[in-house]
């Protein structure tokens, strides 16, 4: 009889553990699906709200031969840009540089603020053309955007006070771009901030003796460094 009771207890225990595990898996899936739905909705809402076309297209194949040291186009989510702009407290003297602007989403949203200038650099001519076209569709700009279709490593950065990167390139180009910014500080001494969304090479920025890590912007994957 006692052996029988023990067996029942064991079966109940195993059933309970199995059910709990199943609920955990289900919860994770529901949470992930809800997150994906909200994300997709917010992306399409943003596109419609601003009347621009900056989503990644599955029909469009980025020409990777153009940038062997680069990454293809992905757009920074709208909510990340909103958090970033709120954090930055940009003022009229700021010059915002987007390295690898893609279709121009970040540059456009920043241009809705009254600052000195927005510079949008893109290597891929097709994407650069789309970014320019988007700027004609975007009606909220208060600040002019200078579009540059070139390799970021070759661009002059003497004016920039805020530099943004969403993993446009790999380490070699990143080193050159950071050296360019560092050199520009002796030509035009000023405080600069560098923002990276989902940075793959934060160790490269951490090692710069002229930069200090400021922190992460809450609820985003944006890390901020500033000049010392």
Ligand X SMILES: C[S@@+](CC[C@H](N)C(=O)[O-])C[C@H]1O[C@@H](n2cnc3c(N)ncnc32)[C@H](O)[C@@H]1O
Residue ranges that bind ligand X, judged by CB under 6 A? 67, 70-71, 73-76, 98, 100-102, 105-106, 121-124, 127, 151-153, 166-169, 173
Least separation in angstroms between residue 23's CB and ligand X is: 37
What is the smallest separation between the CB atom of 157 and ligand X, expressed in angstroms?
Answer: 12
In the complex, minimum distance from the CB of residue 172 to ligand X, in angstroms, rounded to a whole number: 10
Question: Minimum Å distance from CB 21 to ligand X?
Answer: 37
If the CB atoms of residues 99 and 225 are measured against ligand X, the closer one turns out to be 99
Residue number with the shortest CB distance to ligand X?
100
Return the structure tokens found at 180.
């360019």
Rounded to whole angstroms, how far apart are CA atoms 38 and 36? 6
Which C-beta is closer to ligand X: that of 28 or that of 50? 50
| Residue number with CB closer to ligand X (27 or 83) | 83
Q: Which two tokens stand for residue 11?
A: 């079966």
Smallest separation, CB 126 to ligand X (Å)? 9
* Residue length of the chain: 228
> Dmax of the chain from CA atoms?
90
Question: Please, what is the angle between helix 2-50 and helix 78-88, to 10°?
Answer: 70
Q: Which is nearer to ligand X, 43 or 98 (CB)?
A: 98
Whole-number Å distance between alpha carbons of 172 and 153: 9
Which tokens is 138 given?
């975007």
* Four-CA torsion 146, 150, 151, 152, nearest 10 degrees: -10
């Amino acid at each position: 009889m006692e052996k029988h009771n023990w067996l029942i207890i064991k079966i109940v225990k195993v059933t309970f553990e199995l059910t709990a595990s199943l609920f955990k898996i289900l919860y994770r899936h529901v949470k992930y699906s809800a997150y994906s739905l909200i994300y997709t909705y917010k992306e399409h809402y943003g596109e419609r709200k601003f009347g621009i076309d900056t989503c990644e297209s599955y029909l469009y194949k980025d020409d990777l031969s153009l940038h062997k040291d680069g990454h293809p186009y992905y757009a920074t989510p709208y909510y990340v840009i909103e958090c970033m702009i709120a954090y930055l407290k940009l003022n009229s003297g700021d010059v915002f540089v987007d390295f690898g602007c893609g279709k121009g989403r970040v540059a456009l949203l920043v241009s809705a603020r009254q600052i000195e200038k927005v510079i949008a650099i893109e290597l891929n001519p097709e994407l650069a053309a789309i970014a320019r076209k988007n700027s004609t569709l975007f009606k909220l700009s208060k600040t002019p955007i200078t579009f540059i279709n070139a390799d970021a490593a070759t661009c002059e950065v003497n004016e920039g006070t805020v530099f943004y990167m969403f993993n446009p390139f790999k380490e070699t180009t990143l080193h050159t771009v950071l050296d360019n910014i560092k050199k520009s500080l002796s030509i035009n001494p000023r405080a600069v901030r560098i923002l990276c969304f989902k940075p793959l090479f934060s160790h490269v920025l951490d090692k710069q003796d002229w930069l200090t890590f400021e922190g992460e912007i809450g609820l985003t994957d944006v890390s901020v460094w500033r000049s010392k």
